[in-house]
Amino acid sequence: MPDQLLFAMEVMLNGLMAGVLYALVALGFVLIFKASGIFNYAQGVMALFAALTLVGLQEGQVPFAHLINAIFGTDIHHFGWHLPALVAIILTIGVMVVLAIIVEKFVLKHLVNQEPIILFMATIGLAYFLEGFGDVMWGSEIKMLDVGLPQGASFWVEENTAWLGGEGFYGFFIDKLDMVAAVVAALLVISLTIFSQYSKQGRALRAVADDHQAALSVGISLRFIWVLVWSIAGFVALVAGIMWGAKSGVQFSLSLIALKALPVLMLGGFTSIPGAIVGGLIIGVGEKLFEFTIGPMVGGATENWFAYVLALLFLVFRPQGLFGEKIIERV
Amino acid sequence: MFYREAGDFKTSYGSDSQTFPIKFDRMRYYVVLVVAFGVVPFIINDYWANAVFVPFLIYAIAAIGLNILTGYCGQLSLGTGGFMAVGAYACYKLMTAFPEVSIVIHVLLAGGVTAGVGVLFGLPSLRIKGFYLAVATLAAQFFLVWLFNKVPWFYNNSASGQISAPERTVFGVEVTGANTDAWAKYMICLVFLVVLAWVARNLTRGTVGRSWMAIRDMDIAAEIIGVNPLKAKLTAFAVSSFFVGVAGALFFSVYLGAVEVGEAFGINKSFLVLFMIILGGLGSIFGSLAGAAFLVLLPVLLKNVLVGGLGWPTDLAAHLELMIVGALIIVFLIAEPHGMAQLWRIAKEKLRLWPFPH
């Protein structure tokens, strides 16, 4: 095979892997949107907050150390212990559940029956708050996240694909972490699908998604469902935070993956879990291939906007996205 | 007591439909104008101009612009930063290409260019609505910032990739460049704000404004009663972008002087202006001003109290500011979704009856 084609294939494979990570974030959006009609802009910051909490717990950081030091003039930083990754993850899940309860109690409960756009803006406020809160609680310096995931290029893939090309070709370069992420994303989607199809809570969740009032009238507690769904979204945010954090360190830019997930949602439709996956893959492959082929001609860094423009053009022809429910409007 | 309407009779349609029908309101408005034009320029110094007044005036213009689109026409936009960048770069190109023409004309033309770009990115609003549109306007934000970063023509091939404003004068007084006096910066922004606020106020209560509000309240119903959605939405995008473009041009030429696009006009700017109109009040010109004033003053105040007063580190103060702004947004949306403008209206109602509420 010609090398150029092989390179394009490698770019495509890497795009697929990046797409999986986008899909992971988009999944959190879809879950909340389906269950409560809220477009949760704070999902990206939740991923950042989860990752910060995980690192903080694992390293035994003192929460609010910065603030305490500023007020009392002390100099404390660490408790001096190291938690095993698994314990830290379980504790972080607990924190995310508490966060879900707090969000429900102090924000959502008071905004029932408001217009969706008001709720959307409230989540932007929540995003700002959480971002500041996470920084005050755990400090804003870049942290390394290590929960024992494999990293670096996979030699197995390289060796087994080297025969495809000629002299100068050493096989495909694929990060092990990306492969892990793909497997985790697949598991997550399967388990979420099983949960929402077969468990009692899952059915209640789908009922709420269909019609809030009808669900209330058959005795489903809306508030419990909201806490549940925000907890699940928190869990998905934690997974996304671990994957992205292990890839590029835990820092502010982690919260910007929310902005990457938005076009994925538009493409796939806000209400569809498969849509989030397919949309993520299309965007991942599309932006990498575009950067590879057209990027050098226009100065590069097209990844910033390509996904948005693609989604925008796509929406003009299909306003509800690929898998979204058809939008019916009545006066 | 304060807002007595008794005896304030109107004898013509003209006086009945004026902007401030109550005499007290009208006088207060004139007093504010007299103070703004006659007192502040003489006592202003560099710190107050750069930290408070000039950013307030410029953000107020941008907030009025976004309020026209979001508050009056109901089209949520997250592309304000990108459109401000269009205004700034259009102004820069015009300033360097035609040095003999007055800067006032350049700023207005920059607004016009931005209006054109705004209409272009507003076209999808005819097909898509709500969140989808909000996300679509992010396309404008990212694409425009990238464009101004990557195409050397826009920054005249300067080595740093920055654009910096050459020195220009209005009536012989320098308004851009390093040697500008504080009062000159203040005055040019103030004149723009007063004129544009007056235009916005009168547009929004006329035919165009009513068609915007009809579209905002329910676009299908509006279409059925004969409002042309194409015209209403695109005029809203055009007028809004014009305001935002003028704000961007002033922000670059008068306020900052030199601009790097990603830093000055990033996504955070879009959110900042959006927060201003949420806190101030959607669909209110006064609200735009109040929101802009609040969010310009808050960081200055927090910095003075936390860093200057308590001696805390600046990064901690910045994080606390994020928390406070976020919490305020949520509190306002819960307690008063119509923002400070509504609080003001309630206060006026109370003042009308005070001190005898019955």
User: What DSSP assignment string belongs to A286-300?
Assistant: HHHHHHHHTHHHHTS
Six-digit token string for B43:
């006592």
> In Å, how far is B320's CA from the nearest CA of chain A?
6
A249 with A144: CB under 8 angstroms? yes
Total count of residues recorded for chain B: 358
Six-digit token string for B266:
């990033």
pLDDT in tens, A162-195: 666 665 566 666 777 778 888 888 888 888 888 8
Name the residue among B139, B319, B320 with its Cβ closest to that of A309: B139
Q: Do B150 and A118 touch (CB under 8 A)?
A: no
Q: Do B136 and A319 touch (CB under 8 A)?
A: no
A32 with A273: CB under 8 angstroms? no
Residue A322, judged by CB atoms within 10 A of its CB (0-12, 13-18, 19+), counts as middle
The one-letter amino acid at A170: Y
User: How far is the CA of B319 from the CAs of A139, B103, B315, B323, in angstroms?
Assistant: 9, 38, 6, 6
Name the residue among B142, B224, B322 with its Cβ closest to that of A128: B322
Please report where in the chains the tokens 């979420």 appear, as a residue.
A192
Residue A57, pLDDT score: 85
What is the C-alpha separation between A95 and A52, in angstroms, rounded? Answer: 11
Six-digit token string for A17:
């892997």
| DSSP bridge pairs for B170 | B173
> What region, left, alpha or beta, does residue B123 occupy, with left being phi > 0 and alpha being psi -120 to 50 degrees?
alpha
Percent of all residues in chain B with a pLDDT value above 90, rounded to a whole number: 33
E strand segments, B161-319: 163-164, 169-170, 173-174, 258-259
> In Å, how far is A156's CA from the nearest CA of chain B?
38
Instruction: Give residue limits of the domains in chain A.
Output: 3-257
Assign B82 a pLDDT band (cuts: 50, 70, 90).
very high
- pLDDT over threshold 80, residue B253: yes
Q: Do B224 and A331 touch (CB under 8 A)?
A: yes
Please report where in the chains the tokens 């755990």 appear, as a residue.
A138
A130 with A233: CB under 8 angstroms? no
Average pLDDT, chain B: 87
What is the C-alpha separation between A129 and B218, in angstroms, rounded? Answer: 32
pLDDT in tens, A44-90: 888 889 988 888 888 877 777 777 777 777 777 777 777 787 888 88
Residue A161, pLDDT score: 66
Assign B304 a pLDDT band (cuts: 50, 70, 90).
confident
Asked whether the ipTM of the predicted complex exceeds the cut of 0.85, the reply is no
Pairing mode of beta strands B169-170, B173-174: antiparallel
> What region, left, alpha or beta, does residue B227 occupy, with left being phi > 0 and alpha being psi -120 to 50 degrees?
beta
Q: Do A128 and B76 touch (CB under 8 A)?
A: no
Q: Read out DSSP for B41-96?
A: HHH--HHHIIIIIHHHHHHHHHHHHHIIIIIIT------HHHHHHHHHHHHHHHHH
Residue B241, pLDDT score: 95
Please report where in the chains the tokens 């314990």 appear, as a residue.
A87
Average pLDDT, chain A: 80
What is the C-alpha separation between B19 and B163, in angstroms, rounded? Answer: 40
Average pLDDT estimate for B185-204: 92
What is the C-alpha separation between A108 and A37, in angstroms, rounded? Answer: 11
Angle at B306 between CA B302 and CA B307, to 5 degrees: 105
Q: In chain B, which residues have their Cβ closer than 8 Å to the Cβ of A125?
A: 275, 325-330, 333
Residue B290, pLDDT score: 92
pLDDT in tens, B87-142: 999 999 998 888 888 889 999 999 999 999 999 988 888 888 777 788 778 888 98
Q: In chain A, which residues have their Cβ closer than 8 Å to the Cβ of B337?
A: 114, 118
What is the C-alpha separation between A234 and A237, in angstroms, rounded? Answer: 5
The one-letter amino acid at B115: A
Residue A2, pLDDT score: 67
Interface test with B, best of A256, A305, A320 (most B CBs within 10 A): A305
Q: Do A132 and B139 touch (CB under 8 A)?
A: no
Residue B233, judged by CB atoms within 10 A of its CB (0-12, 13-18, 19+), counts as buried
Q: Do B333 and A125 touch (CB under 8 A)?
A: yes
Q: In chain B, which residues have their Cβ closer than 8 Å to the Cβ of A120?
A: 76, 131, 134
Name the residue among B142, B221, B271 with its Cβ closest to that of A124: B271
Q: Is the peptide bond prior to B355 cis by the omega test (within 30 degrees of 0)?
A: yes
A301 with B146: CB under 8 angstroms? yes
Q: In chain A, which residues have their Cβ closer than 8 Å to the Cβ of B142?
A: 304-305, 308
The pTM of the full predicted model, rounded to 2 decimals, is 0.87
What is the C-alpha separation between B218 and B198, in angstroms, rounded? Answer: 27
> In Å, how far is B211's CA from the nearest CA of chain A?
17
Q: Do A125 and B146 touch (CB under 8 A)?
A: no
B98 with B232: CB under 8 angstroms? no
B163 with B89: CB under 8 angstroms? yes
- pLDDT over threshold 80, residue B295: yes
Residue A225, judged by CB atoms within 10 A of its CB (0-12, 13-18, 19+), counts as buried
Q: Do A114 and B322 touch (CB under 8 A)?
A: no
pLDDT in tens, A280-331: 888 888 888 888 887 777 777 777 788 888 888 887 787 777 777 776 777 7
Helix (H) or strand (E) holding B247: helix B229-250
